[in-house]
Structure 1
Amino acid sequence: MIYRSVNCVIGSGGLMATWLLHCNPKTFNLDEHRSAGEALTSWTIARHKTEVTAGDEFVLWVSGPNAGVTAYGHFTGSAEFGEVDPRFWTTDPGPKHFVPLQVEKWLDMRIPKAQLAGDARMADATILRQPFAGNPHRLTTDQWQAIREAIESENGDPGWHLNPGDTIRRTDLHARYGGSSQNGIATSGTTDNILIFTAASSGHQHGYYDTWNEDGTFHYTGEGQTGNQRMIRGNKGILEHRETGKRLRLFDGARGTVRYLGEWTLDQEQAFTWAEAPETGGGPLRQVIRFHLVPVRATITTPEVGVGQGYVTADEDVTPAPAAPRMPDPDLVGRNLSTHRRLQNDLAQEAENRGLMALSPSPSDPDFDVAWRDGQGCLTVSEVKSLTRANEGRQLRTGLGQVLDYRDQLSDRATEVAAVLWVEREPSELRWVELCRRVGVTLAWPGREDAVFSPEHNGTQE
């Protein structure tokens, strides 16, 4: 930050003091300075020039809409006078007094102004009463203690009672931690949390294709069901969560009982990318935000041994948009969409009627339509397909390939996996029944439920 010193201003010595340095982003671009890989080795000051000295401790405060503490460290010398590196200033500052320093830690998340302002010990802090006063702000012992306690709590997980893997009803979750129970991204106004929810069974119908990656990271699709997504509301909350001091809490499931997948943060090298995905109901392709999340602590980062979550009923009343090019599945367009959802819901209800628990996929599962387990540990996974005379061959080929893929992916997560291709009606070419039987897949349709749910069913056709 400083090119060279011109002369030294001798510090007064004595007991070590504690200070607050503040940064105005409109004057000095700290984010750009850090992104450029520059080490912060000094800070300009306008007062207390003879009082600052080596060994004094400081915290760095960034002002603006997301004001708060972002780093701490200590001074390595007394104040000096010198030329300032103008690259990251909005105007050339000219020569200034500065104090050399060493940053001990950049905080993962900023300690927000609101949190500190709520502490009675900070009532007389000059950064709150006189925020435009020149650097540095002297801190009393009580004020320093209040800030350090807030920093120490940032390294823990204060006020949070869930452990990764715990389940909770979503209504109870919001009653305790705030945030809207209707949104996939729920920013709390009462706690320092952003609750985010991922569920393939409901998300895919809106073009939300979240993915787990082999390195343990997670790509999460932003909110916005139609048109190009924008970096506003919940999306902006995720992007700025470090600056606002909000913790990202990821949950598996969207309704009913959800499962906590731990605390996550944005990848500091690449926070997000843009991708293409269809609008709600298989509409035209649009730009969506893909947030790159990495685990923070004690977080579930590998697929679960179990499969699925409680079945999420598909909405049969959504009016599909016209077909778009490069759709991920032709069964999710036009007339086929409502038929697909009706068949899927009926199959899930049949499983429930027979005393089985219907399952929708969790984020770590392949994107099957419905699954269930029997009392002997056999998992049955199904793909549902609508059929018309025009698309019958394509749908059967696609569905067979999908359900074989699901079975293969889940083979090490159940003692036995059976596969079902559930279609709208009897195929016009019955050779499909024999073909499916040969590869261990049950091909069935309404009226042939016993072929799927009979006790003898084990992935073979009658």
Structure 2
Amino acid sequence: MAAWLLTCNPNGVFDLPRFRDEGNDLTSWTISQHKREVAAGDQFVLWMSGTNAGIVAHGHFTGQAAHGRPDTTYWLTDPGERDYVPLEVDQWLDRRIPKSQLAADPRMSGATILTMPGGRNPHRLNRAQWEAIHEALEAASGEDPGWDLNPGDEIRRVKLHAHYGGSTQNGISPSGTTNNILIFTAASSGHQHGYFDTWNEDGTFHYTGEGQTGDQRMVRGNKAILEHRETGKRLRLFDGARGTVRYLGEWTLDPEQPYSEDQAPATGGGDLRKVICFHLVPVRATISAPEVEIGQDYVAPDESVTPTPATQSAPDPDLVGRNLSTHRRLQNELAKQAQNRGFTALSPDVSDPDFDLAWRDTEGRLTVCEVKSLTPANEARQLRVGLGQVLDYQDQLSDRAPDVSAVLWVEREPSERRWITLCRRVGVTLAWPCQEDSVFPQ
């Protein structure tokens, strides 16, 4: 039994991506040499040429080569009559095996796909070359043997990059020395830059791309995530941005909808801008929300924000302009009150809803809090939004905590007392400065 490598030029010869996207099964491939040597049972790999060259599939031949004229729908130029070998694809790889990985294996020395990448189909593989490719195929369908972290493991970020490569500064960190893209999420610091990463009920994760000012574009780290399948890179998600980070497993882009575009305020609460939201799905052994402890140690947001005109279409009116500065001051003062009274103040973790603040009492009971600034012009809207938010947070956390209390903390007493009654009716404590005893019972 022989082993072969078939090449595809998706730009100038055959549009394989469109062929696959439209649900077609690959049953044959054109060849121009070794026509009498290919036979049923021979193994093959399919190589995609171009900028991100590498192996995209493997399978076996089902017969000998035959002469014929193909359907020209997906050919970029009329191929005329050709010789074809019938085949069956055993597996399309979710993430291709990159040329660089194979070229680094000494067993691939002399492989014609590396020495003559424009050579004719098929390329013959010797025993050593097939062994190298076969091992790479097995590794592609499992965990990388060079990866030592398990979901839930914690590691200092400096040590992480020393071992796996990538920049220590960026939230998206493609490695130039390993086949990994390290991505970092931290709700407590991300919100000030307009990053609202979310963990969804179905176990998927929506991750905001990089770019703190202006519209985000599909360049640098964002482009690296989008093309991770083509480049053979694995997406590694970490909770935390600095210091010690926690590994949350390997992820991949949703093949049906890899990303969407949304709007969010710029760093410091500026005007709305376009942000890229990547739709990630877990690959293996990823920590799910119910297995992750609620919250992390409270991180105080910066109160020194340059005011900007409030934008009516902002996702949360409390996160722009004057409101943002007041919001952060109220939040930090309340967190300090909680800590002074012996409670543990918490910021949201990667698996949590985007609450402003939470705390646990000495017996471990959890309270989740939404903070709202109030002005005469926005009072009713802020109270409506805040009440809805804190009820949503309470509901999302109810599966992970047996008894979650909810507090809506506002800048001052509402002008209409009915809000106090309404909140009490749905189990929410509405309070403001000088009413700390009502939210921190002894």
Name the TM-score, length of structure 1 as normaliser.
0.86
Q: CA deviation at 1:230?
A: 2.0
Among 399, 419, 444, the residue aligned to 2:432: 444
Q: CA deviation at 1:319?
A: 3.0
Among 238, 250, 272, the residue aligned to 2:259: 272
- CA 1:41/1:433 → structure 2, altered by over 3 Å: closer, same or farther? closer
What are the equivalent positions in structure 2 for 1:168-207 lying under 5 Å apart? 168-207=155-194
Greater Rg by CA:
1
- Which residue number corresponds to residue 348 of structure 1? 335
Deviations 1:367-415 (A, max 9, x none): 2111121221211222222334544454445434433443344344334
Deviations 1:177-229 (A, max 9, x none): 22223322221122211122233333333333333333332232222233332
Q: For residues 388 and 73 of structure 2, what CA distance do their matches in structure 1 show?
A: 57
Is 1:310 the counterpart of 2:297? The answer is: yes
Contact 1:436 1:443 in 2 (8 A): no
- Which residue number corresponds to residue 24 of structure 1? 9
Among 105, 114, 119, the residue aligned to 1:119: 105
- CA 1:429/1:50 → structure 2, altered by over 3 Å: closer, same or farther? closer
Return the letter of the residue paired with 2:314.
M
Aligned identity (percent) is: 70
- CA 1:173/1:358 → structure 2, altered by over 3 Å: closer, same or farther? farther
- CA 1:293/1:341 → structure 2, altered by over 3 Å: closer, same or farther? same
Return the letter of the residue paired with 2:227.
E
Contact 1:304 1:364 in 2 (8 A): no
DSSP 3-state at the match of 1:337: helix
- Which residue number corresponds to residue 324 of structure 1? 311
Contact 1:361 1:369 in 2 (8 A): yes
Return the letter of the residue paired with 2:81.
P
Deviations 1:134-191 (A, max 9, x none): 1111111001001111111112212222222333333333333222233222211222
- CA 1:186/1:335 → structure 2, altered by over 3 Å: closer, same or farther? same
Contact 1:81 1:96 in 2 (8 A): yes
- CA 1:442/1:257 → structure 2, altered by over 3 Å: closer, same or farther? farther
DSSP 3-state at the match of 2:235: strand
- CA 1:408/1:78 → structure 2, altered by over 3 Å: closer, same or farther? closer
- The more displaced of 175-184 and 350-359 is 350-359
- Which residue number corresponds to residue 47 of structure 1? 33
Q: For residues 181 and 92 of structure 1, what CA distance do their matches in structure 2 show?
A: 50
Among 214, 224, 239, the residue aligned to 2:201: 214
Q: CA deviation at 1:309?
A: 2.1
Q: For residues 73 and 397 of structure 1, what CA distance do their matches in structure 2 show?
A: 59
Q: For residues 391 and 89 of structure 2, what CA distance do their matches in structure 1 show?
A: 55
Deviations 1:275-326 (A, max 9, x none): 3333333433333323222221122344446311232331333435433232
Contact 2:199 2:352 in 1 (8 A): no
- Which residue number corresponds to residue 246 of structure 1? 233
- Which residue number corresponds to residue 245 of structure 2? 258
- The more displaced of 197-206 and 44-53 is 197-206
Q: For residues 108 and 343 of structure 1, what CA distance do their matches in structure 2 show?
A: 47
DSSP 3-state at the match of 1:84: coil
- Which residue number corresponds to residue 106 of structure 1? 92
DSSP 3-state at the match of 1:406: helix
Structure 2 stretches lacking a partner, 5+ long: none
- Which residue number corresponds to residue 166 of structure 1? 153
- The more displaced of 347-356 and 372-381 is 347-356
Q: For residues 299 and 88 of structure 2, what CA distance do their matches in structure 1 show?
A: 53
- The more displaced of 84-93 and 138-147 is 84-93
- Which residue number corresponds to residue 94 of structure 1? 80
Return the letter of the residue paired with 1:380.
T
Return the letter of the residue paired with 1:310.
D
Q: For residues 380 and 177 of structure 2, what CA distance do their matches in structure 1 show?
A: 54
Is 1:367 the counterpart of 2:327? The answer is: no
- CA 1:112/1:373 → structure 2, altered by over 3 Å: closer, same or farther? same
Q: For residues 47 and 93 of structure 1, what CA distance do their matches in structure 2 show?
A: 16
Q: For residues 267 and 437 of structure 1, what CA distance do their matches in structure 2 show?
A: 42
DSSP 3-state at the match of 2:40: coil
- The more displaced of 251-260 and 44-53 is 251-260
Structure 1 stretches lacking a partner, 5+ long: 1-15, 457-462
Q: For residues 112 and 216 of structure 1, what CA distance do their matches in structure 2 show?
A: 29
Q: CA deviation at 1:429?
A: 6.9
Q: CA deviation at 1:354?
A: 4.8
- The more displaced of 410-419 and 240-249 is 410-419
Contact 2:179 2:232 in 1 (8 A): yes
Name the TM-score, length of structure 2 as normaliser.
0.90
Q: For residues 348 and 177 of structure 1, what CA distance do their matches in structure 2 show?
A: 37
Return the letter of the residue paired with 2:429.
V
Q: For residues 361 and 68 of structure 1, what CA distance do their matches in structure 2 show?
A: 40
Contact 2:226 2:258 in 1 (8 A): yes
Q: For residues 156 and 364 of structure 1, what CA distance do their matches in structure 2 show?
A: 25
Q: For residues 174 and 314 of structure 2, what CA distance do their matches in structure 1 show?
A: 31
- Which residue number corresponds to residue 222 of structure 2? 235
Among 111, 124, 132, the residue aligned to 2:118: 132
Contact 1:403 1:421 in 2 (8 A): yes
- The more displaced of 400-409 and 428-437 is 428-437
Deviations 1:29-74 (A, max 9, x none): 2111111211111111122222212221111111111111111111
DSSP 3-state at the match of 1:87: coil
Q: CA deviation at 1:81?
A: 1.7
DSSP 3-state at the match of 1:88: coil
DSSP 3-state at the match of 1:441: strand
Is 1:291 the counterpart of 2:278? The answer is: yes
Q: For residues 298 and 126 of structure 2, what CA distance do their matches in structure 1 show?
A: 57
Q: For residues 94 and 195 of structure 1, what CA distance do their matches in structure 2 show?
A: 46
